[in-house]
Amino acid sequence: MYIPGLKYHRPRTLNEVYHVLKTNDKTALLAGGTDLLVELKQGIRSFDSLISLKNITSLTKITENNDEVIIGSCATHNQIADSEIVRNYIPALADTCLTIGTHQIRNTATIGGNLCTCASCADSAPILIIYNATLEIGSESGNRLIPAYEFFLGHHVNALQKGELLLNIIIPKHNKDFGAYFEKFGLRESASISVASVAAGFRIENNKIINANIVIGACAPTPIISEKAISLLNNSNIEELFKDSELLGKIGEAAASEIHPIDDIRASAAYRKEIVNVITQRVILKAISKVNK
C-alpha cells in the first residue's frame, strides 16, 4: 500500500489554481485528503499530480453577511461544528458534521472534499440540501452558482467541469422558527458509514408544517428528495405528528417507497427501506423539537 509517485503543486492564488488545473491532465485537487489519499494508496484512483489547496487560505474561512453563511470549501468538519456562526444559523449542519468519521478525520477532512468526492453516502449532502445551500464554483472564466441539489450527479460524479473548483457553500441564514435535523443509521456507535440517512427541515406556522423538505442519503447514487413524503408533511398539523401516529407512519412509508437502494455489505435494499421509514419519522419529530415555538 503506497501512494504512487506524483507531482505536487501548491499554488498560492486562486488564479494559479485555475492555471494548474487547466494545464494538467490527470490531476486532482487536494483538500483534506482523507478520502483521496486512501484511494490513491489502494490504487482505486491514480493521478499524475495533486494540486494542494493549502495556501488558498480564503477557502478555509467561515463568514456571514446579512442573509447568508458562507463556508469555504476547505473548512474542516470540526471547524464547522465549532463555528459560532454555523451554530447560530444552521445548527443542524454543525451536528451533522460531528457524525462524520472520527475526531482525527474531522480535523483534516473538509466539507468541500466530502461534497466533491460525492460518495453516495456523503453525510453532509442531505442537510445542505435541506438548508437550501448554493455552491459557488470558480474557474478561470468566472464564478457560477448552483443549488446544492444539482451538484450530485452520481456516485463519485459531481457537477464540476474541467478547470472548476468548489469555492464556497452559501447557506441562507435560518431563523429559529426553522427546525432541521439529520440522522444517520450506522452499524456501530462511531466512525461508521451510513447504511441510510435522512435529513428534514421545515417551519411551523399556526401549528402547521410549511416549507418542508426531506432528503434521503446513502440509498441511491445521489441524495434523494422525497417528494411524496414532503407533500404529506406540508400543511400537516403538528398535533397529528407524534410517535406511531398514522400520519407519521404514512410519511415514513412514503419516504421508503421513493428510494431504490441496493444490497451491499452493510445492508440489504429491503432493510434500507425499513430504516428510511423509521428514521424519517424520528427525524421529523426531532426537527419539530428543534423549532423554537
Partner 1 sequence: MKQIININVNGNEYEIAVKPNETLLDLLRDELKLTGTKRGCDSGDCGACTVILDGKAVNSCLVLALEADGCKVETIEGLAYDDKLHPIQRAFVEKGAIQCGFCTPGMVMRVKSFLDENPNPSKDEIKKELSGNLCRCTGYQKIFEAVETAVDYLNGRVPQVIEYQPQKSAMNLSVVGKRLPKIDAPDKATGRALYTDDISLPNMLYGKALLSPHTHAKIKSINTVKAKKLKGVKVILTGADVPDLTYGTSPPRYDENILAKDKVRYVGDVVAAIAAVDEETCYRAMELIEIEYEILPAVFDPFEAMKENAPRLFDDKYENNINTHVDHHFGNIDKGFEEADFIREERFVGNRTYQNPLEPHCAIAEWDRHGRVTLYTSTQVVHYVHHQLTRILGIPMGDIRVIMTNVGGGFGAKAATNILEVLSIFLAKRAGQPVKMKFSREEMYLYGRGRHKQYIDLKMGVKKDGTITALKQKVVLEGGAYSSFGVVTTYYAGSMHATQYKFDNYKYDGFRVNTNLPPCGAFRGHGCPHPRFAFESLLSMIADDIRMDHIDIRLKNAMTPEYHTCNDLDIHSCEFKACLETVRKKSGWDEKKGKLPFGRGIGIGCGGFVSGAGYPIYRSQFPHSNAIIKVAEDGSKAVLLIGDADIGQGSDTVLAQAAAEAMGITLDKISVVSADSDLTPIGFGAYSSRVTLMGGNACKMAGERVKEKILFAASEIMGIEKEKLEAKENMIFVKDSPEQNIPWHQAGFHYFSKYGPLVGEGHYSPPEGLGGKYKGAAVGTSPAYSYGATVCEVEVDTETGKVKVLNFWDAHDCGTAVNPMAVEGQIEGAVVMGMSETLFENEVFDFKGKMINPDLHNYLIATSADVPDMHSTIVDSYEPAGPFGAKEVGEGATLPILGAVANAIEDAVGVRIKELPITPEKILKAIKEKNNVK
| Rounded-to-5 percentages of helix, strand, coil across the chain | 35, 25, 35
**How far apart are CB 78 and partner 1 at their closest, in Å?**
8
52 vs 234, beta carbon nearer partner 1: 52
8 vs 66, beta carbon nearer partner 1: 8
Q: Rounded CA gap, 280 and 242, in Å? A: 12
**How far apart are CB 120 and partner 1 at their closest, in Å?**
14
Give residues in contact with partner 1 (CB under 8 A): 1-8, 10, 30, 32-34, 37-38, 41-42, 50, 52, 54, 78, 101-105, 107-108, 185, 187-193, 265, 267-268, 271, 274-275, 278-279
Region of residue 214 (phi > 0: left; psi between -120 and 50: alpha; otherwise: beta)? beta
**How far apart are CB 161 and partner 1 at their closest, in Å?**
26
**How far apart are CB 50 and partner 1 at their closest, in Å?**
7
33 vs 91, beta carbon nearer partner 1: 33
141 vs 265, beta carbon nearer partner 1: 265
> Kindly report the CA angle at 13 between 8 and 15, in degrees rounded to 5?
95
**How far apart are CB 166 and partner 1 at their closest, in Å?**
19
121 vs 204, beta carbon nearer partner 1: 121
**DSSP H helices in 121-264:** 124-130, 148-151, 227-233, 246-257
Q: Burial, 42: exposed, middle or buried (Cβ in 10 Å; 0-12, 13-18, 19+)? A: exposed
Q: Rounded CA gap, 53 and 51, in Å? A: 6
Using N-to-C axis directions, what is the helix angle for 269-290 and 246-257, rounded to 10°? 130
